[in-house]
């Protein structure tokens, strides 16, 4: 399998921190269509949870053949580091490179080959996976909205946002790169998107970089009553 090649920054990106969207081609084993019928899996044991997925579809088959696929990607780069986020796969950080020596400080996969590990089925290893309100969330292999933000100090942030229909929550995470040497910083938040009536609850923010888990099991968020 050939090494995934990342595109160079566009010529118009001239600041100390560059951010741009540009697709990348990655060999991909696509999930096959889910069952068209709702899956009411209330008693499916799934890593300590009930395994419930409704109203989301449940996928239990992956293609055995890889095809070249163009994935939407957002890139961050400064003098020392290069980071790539894939909004179409849960907003995960797929690659992180030390430009001084070419070292991948985040393990990157050169192929997208899901395993049936996620709550709704597909999940991939490698990179940095963001999870809320539980581990391997349904949207771990689903598209997210994204936008970029430029800050007064010259740093740039990629914000990814999705809506979880199971818990009626909106979740966001931001990947920020400074103009000086240092790793990317992360910002995570969950908020209601359905009502002006609020209550406080306990949920979990879990960040899984290349198989190593960094969890925040009692992060307090605001959600609907």
> Where is mean pLDDT largest: 15-19, 173-177, 206-210?
15-19
DSSP H or E run through 140: none
Contact yes or no for 84/75 (Cβ under 8 A): yes
Distance CA 196, CA 52 (A): 27
**Is the predicted pLDDT of residue 106 greater than 50, yes or no?**
yes
Tokens standing for 3? Answer: 């090494």
Of the pLDDT bands very low, low, confident and very high (cuts 50, 70, 90), residue 174 is confident
CA 183, 163, 138, 112 dihedral sign is negative
The model's pLDDT over 24-62, given as tens digits with 9 standing for 90+, comes to: 999 999 999 988 887 776 666 556 566 778 888 888 899
- Go through 10-20 and write b for each residue having 16 or more CB atoms within 10 A of its CB, e for each that does not: eeeeeeebbbb
Say how many Å lie between the first and final Cα of the chain, rounded.
Answer: 49
Residue linked to tokens 């406080």: 200
Render pLDDT for 191-209 as a digit per residue (tens, 0 to 9).
544 444 444 444 555 556 5
């Amino acid at each position: 399998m050939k090494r995934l090649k990342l595109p160079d920054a566009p010529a118009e990106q001239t600041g100390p921190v560059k951010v741009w969207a540009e697709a990348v081609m990655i060999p991909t084993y696509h999930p096959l269509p889910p069952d068209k019928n709702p899956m009411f899996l209330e008693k499916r044991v799934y890593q300590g949870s009930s395994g419930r997925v409704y109203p989301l579809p449940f996928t239990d088959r992956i293609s055995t053949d890889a095809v070249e696929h163009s994935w939407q990607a957002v890139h961050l780069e400064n003098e020392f580091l290069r980071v790539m986020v894939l909004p179409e796969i849960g907003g995960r950080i797929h690659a992180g490179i030390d430009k001084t020596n070419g070292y991948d400080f985040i393990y990157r996969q050169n192929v997208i080959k899901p395993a049936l590990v996620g709550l709704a089925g597909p999940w991939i290893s490698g990179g940095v996976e963001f999870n809320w309100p539980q581990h391997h969330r349904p949207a771990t292999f689903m598209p997210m909205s994204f936008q970029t933000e430029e800050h007064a100090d010259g740093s740039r942030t990629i914000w990814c946002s999705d809506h979880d229909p199971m818990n009626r929550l909106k979740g966001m995470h931001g990947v920020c790169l400074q103009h000086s040497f240092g790793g990317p910083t992360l910002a995570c938040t969950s908020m209601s998107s359905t009502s002006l009536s609020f209550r406080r609850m306990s949920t979990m923010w879990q960040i899984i970089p290349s198989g190593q888990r960094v969890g925040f099991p009692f992060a307090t968020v605001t959600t609907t009553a």
